[in-house]
Structure 1
Amino acid sequence: MTVLGTRALNRATLARQLLLEHAGLPVLDAVAHLCGLQAQEPQEPFVGLWSRLRGFDPAVLSDLLVGRGVVRTHLMRRTVHLLTAGDVLAWRARHDVMLRQRVLGTYRRELAGVDLDELAAAGRAVMADGRPRSMTELARALAGRWPEPGPRALGEMLVAALVPMVQMPPRGLWRAKAGVRNVPLSSWLGREIDPPAPDGSDPVGANLVRRYLAAFGPAATADLRAWCGLAGLPAAVAAIREELICFRDERGRELLDLPGAPRPDPDTPAPVRFLPAFDNAILGYHDRGRIIDDAHRGLSVAGARVVLVDGRVAATWTVDAGTVVVAPLYHLSRADLDGLAEQGRALASFLSDGDGGDVRIAEDG
């Protein structure tokens, strides 16, 4: 079985994640290819797509949100993701059990004794009037019936797990500052989510495996689980295993992949790329060593925005009064610093709608 080294996996990841060269995909197709973008920070998907697409126009993504082509909702790992309407309708039911379990993992004591199906029915009844509500407003509407859990536990369970919800615009629009107002997914998109297969098969699980490998492969089953949060996909992998090819990494782990997916030469040049907070190019794996050093792994879960140099996390970045401030994590060559400066200026221009902006590179870490 062919062994893929870290650099080979890195270049495959960059190619699948549209980070090796800017793609000419339409925005909707890019969101679909990436299996959604992590989006708990509302403006971060714009940077993620700017780093991946040729000539990205943020107004297009805003229009897709308003036009209901993409939505903001809780899904993978119980985190807020930006997904196409088609994907969330197809995938949401497959995530139901995981979403409940993750909320209970935080609020098991508070929600002890609460009939979750009864709570879900009550939540749907409250939301049936079509009025968008914050999580707190929804929880308070039901607090008289369930006073013990408290509004935070009730709200989290309802919004993140029991009742499929959408975070309505203007939340998530370009340059918009707006609180979260939830509305049921079914009313926003005009139809219910797809139900599980009646014969007990798992076509959605198989689809998730194929889609994940197209956007993140080659990858181990542990990586797949880390991305979506679902523990019950071994059967889906087994069902399509004959479609897949296998490799091993340098630690001996089995890696699965699609036969025709890109696996560039490990020596393929990789340009500087600025990534937003919580980018799935990093978080979409259990073993993140293909893209980030162990010494800096904590950055990926702390919400730091990072910069890839030669395909690996080499710096962090912030914005200060229109200036993109880059802090290298280790000594970089003059050529690398020049690449950082060039891309940093381009990002500053994007963030300022072309009205200027600059870049400042701090001393090497």
Structure 2
Amino acid sequence: MTTLSPRALNRAMLARQLLLRRSHLGVLDAVRHLAGLQAQSPWPPYYALWTRLHGFRPEQLSELLVNREVVRIVLMRGTVHLVDAADGLAWRPVVQPLLDRDLATNTQHAAKAAGLDLAEVAGHARELLAGEPLTAGRLGERLALRWPGRPPSTLAHIARNLLPLVQVPPRGVWGRSGQTTYATAQDWLGRPLAPPDPAALVLRYLAAFGPASVLDVQTWCGLTRLGEVVEGLDLRTFRDEAGRTLYDLPDADRPDPDTPAPPRFLGGFDQTLLSYADRTRVISDEYRRRIFTKNGLIPQAVLCDGVVRGVWRIERAGDSATLTVTEFARMSTKDRTALTSAGARLLRFAEPSAVHDIRFVAEY
């Protein structure tokens, strides 16, 4: 069995995630290819696509949201993802077990939901949402009219976990603000959910992130006991340097480990940092502990030679916008030059009306 080095795994991941070179894929095709985009907050998907696609414009993704071709929905790991509408309908039933588990173990809501008929709560929530999309607060308030004495937030949480709720625009539309407002996926998209198919989900993961271990797949989606699913698929196997078995699609792209990897600006919550149990193919344990905060916020990272070497942020003050790159290790002159050029384009994308400045700050 072939052993793959960390660099070989890194280059495979970069290729699948469109980070070795910018792609000419259309926006919808890119969202599908990437197996969705992490989207706890509205704007990271836009930066994820900007750094991966040639000529990406924010209105391209906004139009897909408004036209219901992509949706924001709770999926992998119980977090919000932006996915192709068909993937939302297909994947939401697959991840239901992890949302059921959350209802039983959530320290904030489990005790407050004790004794409730959860299916009855979900059924009434479905009826309420069939009338009009509702914010979480309003949905909870209306549910509390039927279950007085129960916290509205807990009732809304039950609905969120048992129903396939999508966040409707203007939430997630570039340049606009809006409360998180829900409709059921079936009502919003006019189509039913698909039967759960864990094997199909695993194959999509490997296409976007492989080669990977069973534990990597489970870390990405939040499910457990996927070993039998993986073993039943026609996959190629490898080992990593720690001796773990890795699986991949037989004809997937696995570039030469010496393939150059240009510097990249990743958006916040980028899925490359969240989709593996062993994340050392893209970020060292030292840097992971440094940037993964206790409140779950994942900052905007900078890749050099395919791995995290710092973070970045844009701050607006009056008519000026400053892009600050914080280096965790000394960057080469070549990488700084490339980041300066890319940073100028990033500022034009994010703050087109401002006067721009770029700074590098050393923290090593």
TM-score range normalised by the length of the shorter chain: over 0.9
Cα drift, residue 102 of structure 1: 2.1
Secondary structure of 1:93 counterpart: coil
Q: How does 1:1-365 map to 2 (within 5 A)?
A: 1-106=1-106, 107-129=109-131, 131-159=132-160, 161-196=161-196, 204-240=197-233, 243-298=234-289, 299-300=291-292, 301-321=296-316, 322-353=321-352, 356-365=355-364
Mapped to 1, the partners of 2:147 and 2:246 lie a distance apart of 47
| Letter of the structure 1 residue corresponding to residue 166 of structure 2 | V
Secondary structure of 1:143 counterpart: helix
Secondary structure of 1:357 counterpart: strand
Cα drift, residue 113 of structure 1: 1.5
Give the conservation status (yes or no) of the 8 Å contact 2:329–2:362: no
Give the conservation status (yes or no) of the 8 Å contact 1:217–1:256: yes
Give the conservation status (yes or no) of the 8 Å contact 1:16–1:216: yes
Mapped to 2, the partners of 1:99 and 1:170 lie a distance apart of 26
| Letter of the structure 2 residue corresponding to residue 280 of structure 1 | Q
| RMSD (CA atoms) | 1.5
| Letter of the structure 1 residue corresponding to residue 201 of structure 2 | L
Identity, in percent, stands at 46
Give the conservation status (yes or no) of the 8 Å contact 1:4–1:247: yes
Give the conservation status (yes or no) of the 8 Å contact 1:164–1:185: yes
Return 5+ residue gaps in structure 1 as ranges: 197-203
Return 5+ residue gaps in structure 2 as ranges: none
Distance 1:354 1:309, change over 3 A: farther
| Letter of the structure 2 residue corresponding to residue 119 of structure 1 | V
Cα drift, residue 5 of structure 1: 0.8
What CA deviation, in whole Å up to 9, does each residue of 1:218-246 have, x standing for no partner?
00000000101111422321221xx2111
Mapped to 2, the partners of 1:256 and 1:353 lie a distance apart of 43
Mapped to 2, the partners of 1:245 and 1:283 lie a distance apart of 23
TM-score (norm 2): 0.94
Give the conservation status (yes or no) of the 8 Å contact 1:40–1:79: yes
What CA deviation, in whole Å up to 9, does each residue of 1:243-273 have, x standing for no partner?
2111111111000001111111111110111
Mapped to 2, the partners of 1:349 and 1:340 lie a distance apart of 14
Cα drift, residue 289 of structure 1: 0.5
Mapped to 1, the partners of 2:148 and 2:75 lie a distance apart of 27
Query: For this pair of structures, how many residues does the alignment match?
Result: 354
Give the conservation status (yes or no) of the 8 Å contact 1:344–1:358: no
Give the conservation status (yes or no) of the 8 Å contact 1:100–1:157: no
Mapped to 2, the partners of 1:217 and 1:363 lie a distance apart of 33
Secondary structure of 1:54 counterpart: coil
